[in-house]
Amino acid sequence: MGTAATAAAAAGEGARSPSPAAVSLGLGVAVVSSLVNGSTFVLQKKGIVRAKRRGTSYLTDIVWWAGTIAMAVGQIGNFLAYTAVPTVLVTPLGALGVPFGSILASYLLKEKLNILGKLGCLLSCAGSVVLIIHSPKSESVTTQAELEEKLTNPVFVGYLCIVLLLLLLLIFWIAPAHGPTNIMVYISICSLLGSFTVPSTKGIGLAAQDIFHNSPSSQRALCLCLVLLAVLGCSIIVQFSGSPTPAPCGATDRSSLTRDRTSARCSGSLES
């Protein structure tokens, strides 16, 4: 009896720890996806600038479409990486897109990166390395049952309510008043929404494994997958919309790369 229990525990522990080949592949996909994501808004802004010079819509510019396609490819790569390796190993690698996007913007958009920007890029890379080195190398949630248990945990539910209240406050009260002049408002919204996007992406991968099995839990897995997919879609839409109230288009003249969402939205309204 004790031997069987020990063997079962060892097998469960082995299932929790991905193989070195899977970790290497997942980290490689995560790095490439991060670099691709870092180039998306640079390419889109370059396409908008090119279209404005020609007096046409940015929808007809191939560079803008290249940035849009790169965004889709980067998100698909992130999804694959989240399903292959622990989330705590993939998420810090997203910061690598910051220095890559900044360097690309300095060449394509001729935007100058001051000393504080260079220091921020360096700190982003250093923070990613530190988090990866000291992160746990095994999964804490590997099955649908464990995922449902974590989602119904009172601590997580309380945290979820606090995040939702903060998002409502930022989106409907603070963003319309201070969003056009303070980029930290939009950064806070996107950062808080990361509390939904990352767990939802990981949860979809776990639930999808049980959907096509002929078992009583397949129906619950399908419902869970659809709910998480809806949450993920809503959070992505809110992140890319920036704010319910668009900022004045004149504000984009003073904006940096972090205001690309507002610039794209304003340019589209002018051309329509």
Q: Which two tokens stand for residue 214?
A: 């002929």
b/e per residue, 178-213, with b = 16+ CB within 10 A? Answer: ebbeeeebbebbbebbebbbbbbbbbbbbbbebbee
3-state secondary structure (DSSP) of residue 180: coil
Dihedral of CA atoms 60, 263, 247, 183 in degrees, nearest 10, equals 150
pTM of model > 0.75: no
Whether 190 contacts 241, CB under 8 Å: no
Which distant-in-sequence residues (6+ apart) come within 8 Å of 71 by Cβ?
37, 40, 44
Indicate the length of the chain as a whole number. Answer: 272
Question: What's the CA gap between 243 and 238, in Å, rounded?
Answer: 7
Q: Which two tokens stand for residue 11?
A: 């097998």
Q: Could you tell me which of 135, 67, 137, 69 has the C-alpha nearest to residue 101?
A: 67
CB atoms within 10 A of CB 153: 12
Whether 111 contacts 256, CB under 8 Å: yes
Residues 258, 262, 265, 266: is their CA dihedral positive or negative? negative
Give, for all 272 residues of the chain, the pLDDT tens digit. 444 433 433 444 444 566 777 778 888 888 898 899 889 989 999 999 999 999 898 889 999 999 989 988 988 888 788 777 777 788 888 888 888 888 888 888 888 888 888 888 888 888 888 888 887 666 566 677 777 788 788 998 898 899 999 989 998 899 888 888 888 888 888 888 877 777 777 777 777 777 766 666 677 777 877 887 787 777 767 666 653 333 333 344 444 444 444 444 444 443 44
Question: What's the CA gap between 93 and 199, in Å, rounded?
Answer: 16
* CA distances (Å), origin 173, targets 166, 167, 177, 179, 227: 10, 10, 7, 10, 27
